[in-house]
Structure 1
Amino acid sequence: MPYFFQWQRYRKYWWSSITTTPGLFSINEIRNGDDSAEVDIVAHLTWGEQVVENVSFKKINDDPATSTLTCSMSLEAALVTLLADGLINSSKEDYLRLHRKLAPYKVSFALQCDDDKTKKTLQDLAVLLNSKLQGKNISTWFPEFKLPLDEQLTVNRKMGVVYTAILNDAALNHGIFYLMNSSTMLKEQIHVSDFENYAELLFKN
């Protein structure tokens, strides 16, 4: 029986670890049977509770040393819950906020440039960086760069992109560009030569 309590807490922690709203999940009341117990892990969404996983314990042949511990979930319910969480955050902050482990696109690009010739060179650089990331099996969203910078960033965030590499003249002159976190909007300076290895570290775990 102690394993039953430990496991339900572990499963709740796991659900919290893959969402952008850790407080979204809770464990409801235990339902006890003669030789069994079960509990649901639920998500508290704006329209009510959604069961995401059931954890159950059952004794075998009335022998405390022999029992089964079972976890069951629906992939459809999990998908709906995580997308709902992202959309709820979207309505607040104008983007699809998904956990970095679940985001379909980890990295995208945006160009900050008015000169057509320089823009073409930056596009070539973006293509090169994009291919290196894909070589590391990091999923990317490659835009067309037709919009102003602010609108490029907005599109990337609405696509659920986790990080956007903002390339400008400094990337060509000094090899330095800004990498923006879509969740926090914070930017950090990265050197072109370090980017692929740094991105690999970001998404390693």
Structure 2
Amino acid sequence: MLLFVYVFGGAISHGASSGSYLGYLLPGILLMTVASGVSYTAFRIFTDMTTGIFGRFRSMPIARSGVLWSHVLTSLVANLVSIAVVFGVAFAMGFRTGAGVAAWFAVAGILILYTLALTWVAVIPGLTAKSISGASGFSYPLIFLPFVSSAFVPTSTMPGPVRWFAENQPVTPIVDTIRHLFAGQPVSNDIWIALGWMVGILLVAFTGAMLVYRRKIS
């Protein structure tokens, strides 16, 4: 965030102040923080699989999915702490918003749902990877997605095929929704598209993770 605002910010924002570009940039940085953080979930699950922890829990009188949920919930807490740190740095750099309590709750809900969705995605490589690098490396495309979205520059500045991809991938409506909430602007249909993407990813990832997990422990 420091690099983009203070080194590239002047050129990217076409003369806008660093504070205004910081507000534009922040939603994308938040999503990148989550994408980077969930890789540790895959790493921890892979480690537990290879050390036999899952086998030990299987012999205990607990729900089979309880082990995965413990990883998911600890990942959620850890990522929320990271998000809080990012907000702290942003406020120290001059970020200000007139968003009300309802808007802040909406932003928090979006970030929690996004974190849950990506964390369940992370569970799958954690269960199936053959190496530690394979388990944690899945997150690289997730970290890259904001670069091909509206996170750093408007999609209208992109060439045709890139613009089409940027406008039709999940990060753009999520970023735009958070940005509009902070700016006190109408979120239009972006919020429903964002929710559709996040809920869809969450359901598919959760179902896939549970199927893989049951096959692994059976």
Q: What TM bracket, shorter-length normalisation?
A: under 0.3
| TM-score after normalising by structure 1 | 0.25
Higher strand share: 1
Larger of the two Rg values belongs to structure: 1
| TM-score after normalising by structure 2 | 0.24
Higher helix share: 2
